[in-house]
Amino acid sequence: MKQRTPPRVLIYSHDTFGLGHLRRCSAIAHALCESNEDLSVLILSGSPIIGSFDFRSRVDFVRIPGVIKLRNGEYTSLTLPMAVDDTIAMRASIIQHTAEFFDPDIFIVDKEPLGLRGELAATLDILKKRGAHIVLGLRDVLDEPRLLGPEWKRKNAIPALETYYDEMWVYGLPQICEPLAEIGLPESLRRKMVYTGYLRRFEGPKPVGQPALAKTDRPYILVTPGGGGDGEILVDWVLRAYETDKDLPYASMVVLGPFMQSDRRSEFIARANALDKVDAITFEAHMESLVARAEGIVAMGGYNTFCEILSFDKKALIVPRTSPRLEQYIRTSRAEDLGLVTMLCDDSVRAAKTMATALRHLPQQNPPSDIVVPGLLDGLNNVNILTRHMLERRPKSAQPEIASARQQA
């Protein structure tokens, strides 16, 4: 029998829209490696910008062919001129072979129990037979229950959870949202659920290399629509407020996001350049540093931005989208009820004066820390504890065929 090798964690990052899944998985990967000196993490992702992230020692990634979800709900290959079914088959093959060779002790799957269109099925079967611990990681809100239940039934999610998964980690708190509360989850699966708390973020190095960032020495409000793929409404509304009201007290830094359509991005940059108090950039990998230095945040209320608002104790104005999912609206309305943020609903009119008034009021809001929510930001610490418990249950020596595969690696 071979000696145990240093522990390995494989993370599958669901990647069909925006930056949220990748940023959440990256935060978990870095936290695990920082707290476990010999542990390594490999992230599987089809994100086209994964190479722009700074991965630290013992964290690496495998870039699989990208697939993107269109606004009508259909999927298509991101860049390859292939049928989406062929792209999915290729992704599934790469995922399976990577998992077989990397041979993780723990497999953390982001959001989709069987992966995109079932691409994880073979990999889950192999890793389960090898004795890997398999975890489903879920953000605090998925969608409204009337839509989530039929979606999970269509995707055979519950049978997959019963067959393959040891635990389900919800990166949030039940007093804010219970993402699976109303879909008829069997008691056997409810016992597998652990609410970790939200994932605390930490400030990295000060961003450099973009001219607009030199202006962050002046007080500013950070405007972020996340990945930007559906952020045009928010950015346009903020710009019109500054175009209409030249006396707004704070400047704004607008981070448009890498997935914003190029024509709208060019338009917004030109409009920002015409305003003394607005700077705009496309993308910043170190968003935490921009959030930490901001006087306040204007955002759409995605999971990662919400974690950053809480982590850096920032006053926030949230304009959530309500289509195609109510995820952002549900999270923001619960957070507003608790007094953590202020919500501005899109009334379809989007008067410039309405946004200007909200921007004026933003600095007078109370910070989230005024509200005591026990365990609110304990997510990364609890993920580390849960991971250590799983690793403590590893066999003292590897199975011969597994040890052989690792030796070749």
Residue 274 belongs to a domain? yes
Q: What pLDDT digit, counting tens, does each position of 343-363 carry?
A: 999 999 999 999 999 999 999
**How many separate domains does the chain show?**
2
Q: Which two tokens stand for residue 239?
A: 């710009």
Hey, how many other C-beta atoms are within 10 angstroms of the C-beta on 317? 22
Rounded to an integer, what distance in angstroms lies between the CA atom of residue 142 and that of residue 19?
A: 16
**What is the pLDDT, as a whole number, of residue 51?**
84
Is the per-residue pLDDT at 91 higher than 90?
yes
Dihedral, 398, 403, 407, 409 alpha carbons, nearest 10: -100
**Would you place residue 74 in the very low, low, confident or very high pLDDT band (cuts 50, 70, 90)?**
confident
Selection from 228, 226, 238 nearest residue 259 by Cα? 228
**Spatial separation of the C-alpha atoms in residues 307 and 378, rounded to whole Å:** 11
Asked if residue 205 is part of any domain, the answer here is no
Q: How far apart are CA 382 and CA 170, in angstroms?
A: 11
Q: Which domain holds residue 87?
A: 2-200+377-404
CATH number at residue 234: 3.40.50.2000
Per-residue pLDDT tens for 280-330?
998 887 788 899 999 999 999 999 999 999 999 999 999 999 887 899 999
Of 210 and 384, the structure prediction assigns the larger pLDDT to 384
pLDDT grade for 192, boundaries at 50, 70 and 90: very high
The answer on 312 and 395 residing in a single domain is no
Residue 129 and residue 224 share a domain: no
Is the pLDDT at 155 greater than 70? The verdict is: yes
Mean pLDDT of the chain: 90
According to DSSP, the residues that pair with 318 across neighbouring strands are: 299, 343
Q: Give the residue-averaged pLDDT of 120-133.
A: 98
Query: What's the confidence (pLDDT) of residue 1?
Result: 32
Summarize the confidence of residues 77-102 as an average pLDDT: 95
Tell whether 17 is covered by a domain.
yes
Q: Please indicate, yes or no, whether residues 277 and 321 belong to a single structural domain of this protein.
A: yes
Question: H or E segment at 109?
Answer: strand 106-110
Q: What's the CA gap between 53 and 30, in Å, rounded?
A: 12
pLDDT exceeds 60 at position 210: no
Same domain, residue pair 190 and 276 = no
Same domain for 396 and 340: no
Q: In degrees to the nearest 10, what's the CA dihedral of 380, 381, 386, 389? A: 140
The closest of 143, 294, 138, 270 to 215, measured between CA atoms, is 294
Tens of pLDDT along 370-408? Answer: 999 999 999 999 999 999 999 998 876 554 444 444 554
Give the pLDDT of residue 4. Answer: 61
Whether residue 332 is contained in a domain is answered as yes
Q: What is the pLDDT of residue 208?
A: 61
User: Do residues 103 and 152 both lie within one domain?
Assistant: yes
Instruction: Give the SS3 label for residue 59.
Output: strand
CA distance 337 to 227: 26
Same domain, 166 and 254: no
pLDDT of 324 reads 79
For residue 156, which phi and psi values (nearest 5 degrees)? 55, 40
Q: Residue 91 contacts by C-beta under 8 Å, 6 or more apart in sequence?
A: 46, 64, 65, 67, 116, 119
Q: What angle do CA 309, 177, 179 make, to 5 degrees?
A: 115
Q: Shortest CA distance to 23 belongs to which of 92, 96, 110, 94?
A: 110
What residues contact residue 395 under an 8 Å CB cut-off, 6+ apart?
A: 4, 131
pLDDT, one tens digit per residue, over 24-70 is 999 999 999 999 999 999 999 998 888 888 888 999 999 999 988 77
Assess whether pLDDT exceeds 50 at residue 226: yes
The reply to whether 386 and 364 lie within a common domain is: no
Instruction: Name the band, by pLDDT with cuts 50, 70 and 90, for residue 79.
Output: confident
Phi-psi region of 149 (alpha: psi -120 to 50; beta: other; left: phi over 0): alpha
Task: Provide the 10 A C-beta neighbour count for residue 353.
Answer: 11
Asked whether residue 399 is domain-assigned, the answer is yes
Confidence check: pLDDT of 2 > 70: no
Q: Which of 157-171, 256-270, 387-401 holds the top average pLDDT?
A: 157-171
Task: Identify whether residues 306 and 337 lie together within a single domain.
Answer: yes
Task: Specify whether the CB–CB gap between 314 and 296 falls below 8 A.
Answer: yes
